[in-house]
């Protein structure tokens, strides 16, 4: 593990009051697994900014653009 990754894990651990870096990794994997599963089942993964703009989550953007119908 690089120094940068370790420092990032420690920062997140402290921010979310996790017991260990392992717990941070387990939580991250659970979130990643859930989001990937939802996308595989046809969900569109978006995040809303504080000014109301919706953006696709960068790690989960598919190769072909999709538009949501209002």
At 66 the pLDDT is 45
Go through the chain and tell me how many residues it has.
70
Domain ranges of the chain: 3-60
At 62 the pLDDT is 56
Question: At residue 67, does pLDDT exceed 50?
Answer: no
At 60 the pLDDT is 65
Question: At residue 63, does pLDDT exceed 70?
Answer: no
- pLDDT per residue as tens digits for the range 4-61: 999 999 999 999 999 999 999 999 999 989 988 888 888 888 889 999 999 887 666 6
Burial code (b: 16+ CB inside 10 Å, e: under 16) for 38-69 equals eeeeeeebeeeeeeeeeeeeeeeeeeeeeeee
> CA 26, CA 5: separation in Å to the nearest integer?
15
């Amino acid at each position: 593990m690089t120094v940068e990754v370790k420092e990032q894990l420690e920062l997140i651990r402290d921010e979310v009051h996790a017991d260990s870096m392992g717990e941070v990794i387990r939580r991250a994997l659970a979130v990643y697994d859930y989001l990937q599963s939802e996308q595989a089942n046809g969900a569109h993964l978006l995040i809303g900014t504080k000014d109301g703009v919706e953006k696709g989550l960068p790690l989960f953007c598919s190769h072909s653009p999709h538009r949501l119908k209002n």
